[in-house]
Chains A and B, each alone.
Chain A
């Protein structure tokens, strides 16, 4: 059932992407949020909308859940809880890890890093170091995600017994890539606009 909740969250996040909801007043936004949760979990002909989403994306990782909650929170309450720099760093880390994990897990090499998530001390140790390093760099979102994922893994929050499944998933990877691309595009546009403004000022003098 915990996995179904993560899929329901994805449905809610997708629902909130519909721009019109964001323009409503706060009580209506909260009401829309509650309606989306119900709609996601209400079974129709034996299966809920979240069940259909879960059929495709599986159980979403704890990191995805945290990121989705932050996103939903910022949309409903119009407040950014985490500095953008932290989100960008997390996305970068997800893309790096995804580039390491998925090609090999899909059979590109004899070595399968996914196996580390079952019965190795290496992955938890590496995560401990990474979490600590992020904490020292004041990248608290990364530390929080790692801690929560390891906690969820240790109590068996999902059906998976593999630590990787608590840390990341392909949905998060794609989302991170898109986010980074958007940020890069925005930065380029801003730079170009700035350069153009500077250029026209020079022309005017």
Chain B
């Protein structure tokens, strides 16, 4: 998600017949906060078009992350791969007309190993000199986080290692102030499953060694923002086991302690229970109605969820891949994958957040 010049929110995601299919394209849609409506989805990048633009074979497309610079120009970084996700590379396309048209994509060169295995998932940010910080991660042989620095023409000018080894990915950079930043990373190693963290106290010149954070996480994606007072707000699956709940947590001491403010989703009660497809469908219907009572054709929605979440294994709930931004008017927008069938949009404001904070204190 990225906020446009006029305050509308533009979202990007990849979708197709299945993950990794050749028909997967990068979609976008624009949210009008006044009308509270999303536009029809539009294709921003396809496999074939990207392949033509970068003059090389591409098998599939993946994660997109957008950014908007001080001039209003939109930057969209997205993943393409020639095989599994470990063979990924990052492509860049830009728009100077608020996403109406996009430039031909070009390939970022980020790795000496055939330029393979660099992926994006978390939001880029801007350094004080206008250069872009792009958190990326590597997945071939090792799994580790890195930070690319791009100049205002989109050229990679430097990179920094945030972690190393085979267990950390998807770095989420939370900038607290001019000097301090905390980066959280998804941890894919053996239990105990705690997100990893590294910190910088010199404006990103150096980063500490990775260490376990106080955040439990079942090796799933996280999203977050820094509030005006420097405290941190993160959305994640706040448990070590499954993605069946999605929580909002906050820290006002640079990530040393976190408190759970809210559960956007919480289906942990179904864990370990054997339940029928019908029971799953019934609960899904309840969740859909709770999300939006005015939703039309809810039975079709339930059928779509059942198709994705009950295929080849017992039915389960899954709420993941959150993406959180705070708009200039202070409203928070959260998107996440809802049972791998839909994207759910939640917005909340500062007053609601403060009420949650005072409720837990």
Q: Taking beta carbons and an 8 Å cutoff, which residues of A are in contact with B?
A: 1, 3-4, 7, 46-47, 51-52, 54-59, 101-102, 105-112, 114-115, 117-119, 158-162, 164-165, 168-171
Interface positions, chain B 131-187, Cβ under 8 Å from A, are 138, 140-144, 146, 155-161, 164-166
B56 adjacent to chain A (CB < 8 Å): yes
A46 pairs with B51, CB closer than 8 A: yes
Which residue of A7, A46, A59, A171 contacts B52 across the interface (Cβ within 8 Å)?
A: A46
Which 6 pairs, one residue from A and one from B, show the smallest C-beta to C-beta distance?
A107-B142, A55-B57, A160-B109, A55-B56, A54-B56, A58-B115
B165 pairs with A55, CB closer than 8 A: no
Interface positions, chain B 41-61, Cβ under 8 Å from A, are 48, 51-52, 55-58
Interface positions, chain B 29-85, Cβ under 8 Å from A, are 48, 51-52, 55-58, 82
B114 adjacent to chain A (CB < 8 Å): yes
- Residues of B contacting A110 in the complex (Cβ-Cβ under 8 angstroms): 161, 164, 209
B165 pairs with A107, CB closer than 8 A: yes
Nearest B residue to A167 by beta-carbon distance?
A: B112
A55 pairs with B58, CB closer than 8 A: yes
Q: Interface on chain B toward A: helix, strand, loop, or mixed SS?
A: loop
With A115-B158, A115-B160, A159-B109 already in contact, the answer to whether A56 and B114 are too (CB < 8 A) is yes
Nearest B residue to A162 by beta-carbon distance?
A: B109
Instruction: Write out, one digit per residue, whether chain B residues 291-305 have a CB within 8 A of any chain A CB (1) or not (0).
Output: 000000000000000
Q: Smallest Cβ distance from B98 to chain A, in angstroms?
A: 27
Nearest A residue to B162 by beta-carbon distance?
A: A110
> How far is B159's CA from A165's CA once the two chains are assembled, in angstroms?
14
B107 adjacent to chain A (CB < 8 Å): yes
With A4-B55, A112-B159, A165-B109 already in contact, the answer to whether A106 and B138 are too (CB < 8 A) is yes
With A52-B57, A54-B56 already in contact, the answer to whether A106 and B142 are too (CB < 8 A) is yes
B8 adjacent to chain A (CB < 8 Å): no
With A46-B52, A119-B158, A159-B107 already in contact, the answer to whether A164 and B164 are too (CB < 8 A) is no
B159 pairs with A114, CB closer than 8 A: yes
Which residue of A7, A54, A108 contacts B164 across the interface (Cβ within 8 Å)?
A: A108
B352 adjacent to chain A (CB < 8 Å): no
Residue pairs across A and B with Cβ atoms less than 8 A apart, 19 shown, are A3-B55, A47-B51, A47-B55, A51-B56, A52-B57, A54-B57, A55-B51, A102-B112, A106-B140, A107-B144, A109-B164, A115-B158, A118-B157, A158-B109, A159-B109, A160-B115, A161-B109, A162-B109, A165-B115
> How far is B166's CA from A51's CA once the two chains are assembled, in angstroms?
31
> How far is B106's CA from A7's CA once the two chains are assembled, in angstroms?
17
Name, among A112, A165, A169, the residue most crowded by chain B CB atoms within 10 Å (CB to CB): A112
A102 pairs with B113, CB closer than 8 A: yes
Name, among B106, B109, B157, B165, the residue most crowded by chain A CB atoms within 10 Å (CB to CB): B109
- Residues of B contacting A117 in the complex (Cβ-Cβ under 8 angstroms): 112
> How far is B171's CA from A57's CA once the two chains are assembled, in angstroms?
27
B111 adjacent to chain A (CB < 8 Å): yes
Q: Smallest Cβ distance from B163 to chain A, in angstroms?
A: 8
Which residue of B113, B115, B155, B158 contacts A106 across the interface (Cβ within 8 Å)?
A: B113
- Residues of B contacting A101 in the complex (Cβ-Cβ under 8 angstroms): 112
- Residues of B contacting A170 in the complex (Cβ-Cβ under 8 angstroms): 112-114
- Residues of B contacting A51 in the complex (Cβ-Cβ under 8 angstroms): 51, 55-57
A107 pairs with B141, CB closer than 8 A: yes
Q: Smallest Cβ distance from B170 to chain A, in angstroms?
A: 15
Q: Smallest Cβ distance from A94 to chain B, in angstroms?
A: 13
Q: Smallest Cβ distance from A12 to chain B, in angstroms?
A: 17
- Residues of A contacting B52 in the complex (Cβ-Cβ under 8 angstroms): 46-47
Q: Smallest Cβ distance from A44 to chain B, in angstroms?
A: 12
* Interface contacts beyond A118-B156, A170-B113: sample of 9 additional A-B pairs, CB < 8 Å, sorted by A: A51-B57, A52-B57, A55-B58, A102-B112, A106-B140, A115-B159, A160-B109, A169-B114, A170-B112
A112 pairs with B51, CB closer than 8 A: no
Nearest A residue to B55 by beta-carbon distance?
A: A4
Q: Smallest Cβ distance from A8 to chain B, in angstroms?
A: 11
> How far is B112's CA from A101's CA once the two chains are assembled, in angstroms?
8
Q: Smallest Cβ distance from A16 to chain B, in angstroms?
A: 22
